[in-house]
Amino acid sequence: PEFRHPEFRHFMLKEIYEQPDVVRACLEKYLNLDWTQNRTSESPIHLGLPASFYNGLAEIHIVACGTSLHASLVGQYWLEQLAGIPTRVRYASEFPDHPFPLTPNTLTIAVTQSGETADTLKALTFEQQRRSQLTPACRPRLLGLTNQPNSTLQQRVDHILHAPSEQEVGVAATKSFVAQLIVFYTLALDLACRRQMLSSDRLDILLREVERLPEKISQILAATDAIAQLAKELVDTQDFIFLARGINYPIALEGALKLKETSYIHAEGYAAGEFLHGPIAILDEQVTVVAIAMPGQVYDKTLANLQKVKSRGARLIAITTPVNSEAAALFDSLLPIPDVDELLSPILTVIPLQLLAYYITVYRGLDVDRPRGLTKSLSAE
Ligand code: G6P
């Protein structure tokens, strides 16, 4: 494809801007919006999976690479905290050498944007083969979550969940990630409803919140100029640390990956509490810390961690809702996010991080759509 888009300078920017529509498309596909008024089924989610899929499900194992792994880590949080299902995530490339124990009634999910990543397909084949001779409870139950349903992945699994995001040209995954998040969220909500893990009031809130996401993403996109301005100031920074706790920890990893992949700047993501156990030693005035500090159960703990970061002299940028003056005094810059339930916040907090990576890369004069030495997916190990 031609790597210049008429309205947007690059595909990556165009694809970031398509995210409100991608979220809408995912919700239209899987969410019954009339359900709250007319509760005719067990769950407001219709994933098109047979009843046998849900029978006796006791544990979930997930294999993935790169950005799809980060989506899986957010998915793990939802599957455990909403649906109460023990869930484990492993790099697909590590899985055959370090597989999970052979637990019964276990669903294995392979998550891959392209459906073609060799490491992920190999992990699936490994799981299929080692389980196929076992007792019925331990037989393979395989689900693929992908943005390309007609890929090799579908030949290797029993069921496919399609994350509709249309073709993504930019090598750095953006809209495909957000689509995967929505599918994970609907899967977790579906399982939570069927297992009666949610009060009807809580479910109503979680449904209303997800419906408002496209509008809230648009609000973040409308304030892109401030992010571009900040990117200009950061263009020569050599080291970035991304910090968050709880459900936003995988977004810290994803923010660092986006920046590394596109701009080649050194960037690492850490769980904010864990960062204090050693890595904090690297901080000085030359390092920029980007912290996700969304109101919710980890907010106070995150601010306490960031006080320590600030005392080392690092420049501190916050991804947060407009905050009280005490918290605002802590940060050198603030990238505001609309109010949102903490559970859904990763779908919003990733957007400014995508834009930051995009603008820093463009201001460094690099080809943001085709980073050096990277391909959209690795079809060799
Ligand atoms: C490649 C790309 C990454 C991508 C990963 C997984 O390494 O450079 O950006 O996240 O593959 O791709 P998949 O298609 O399996 O999600």
ipTM value, please give it.
Answer: 0.98
Does ligand 1 have an atom closer than 6 angstroms to the CB of 179? no
**134 C-alpha to ligand 1 centroid (Å):** 32
Pocket probe mutation, ligand 1, options 72, 109, 117, max atoms within 8 Å of Cβ: 117
Atom of ligand 1 nearest to the CA of 64: 15
Q: Are 289 and 316 in contact (CB under 8 A)?
A: yes
Give me the pLDDT at residue 5, please.
54
CA distance 294 to 345: 8
Atom of ligand 1 nearest to the CA of 117: 15
Does ligand 1 have an atom closer than 6 angstroms to the CB of 113? yes
Closest Cα to atom 5 of ligand 1: 66
Does ligand 1 have an atom closer than 6 angstroms to the CB of 112? yes
Does ligand 1 have an atom closer than 6 angstroms to the CB of 262? no
Does ligand 1 have an atom closer than 6 angstroms to the CB of 110? no
Pocket probe mutation, ligand 1, options 63, 67, 350, max atoms within 8 Å of Cβ: 67
- For 42, what's the count of Cα atoms within 13 Å in the CB-facing half-sphere? 13
288's tokens: 């920029």
CA distance 71 to 36: 28
* E strand residue ranges, the chain: 59-64, 87-91, 106-112, 142-146, 159-162, 239-244, 266-271, 287-292, 315-320, 333-336
Digit-by-digit pLDDT tens for the chain (381 residues) are 344 555 789 999 999 999 999 999 999 999 987 777 777 778 899 999 999 999 999 999 999 999 999 999 999 999 999 999 999 999 999 999 999 999 999 999 999 999 999 999 999 999 999 999 999 999 999 999 999 999 999 999 999 999 999 999 999 999 999 999 999 999 999 999 999 999 989 999 999 999 999 999 999 999 999 999 999 999 999 999 999 999 999 999 999 999 999 999 999 999 999 999 999 999 999 999 999 999 999 999 999 999 999 999 999 999 999 877 777 889 999 999 999 999 999 999 999 999 999 999 999 999 999 999 898 888 877
**173 C-alpha to ligand 1 centroid (Å):** 8
Residue 296 region by backbone torsions, left for phi larger than 0, else alpha for psi between -120 and 50, else beta: left
Give me the pLDDT at residue 35, please.
76
Q: What's the predicted TM-score (pTM) here? A: 0.96
Does ligand 1 have an atom closer than 6 angstroms to the CB of 253? no
Does ligand 1 have an atom closer than 6 angstroms to the CB of 114? yes
* Angle, in degrees to the nearest 10, between helices 249-263 and 346-363: 20
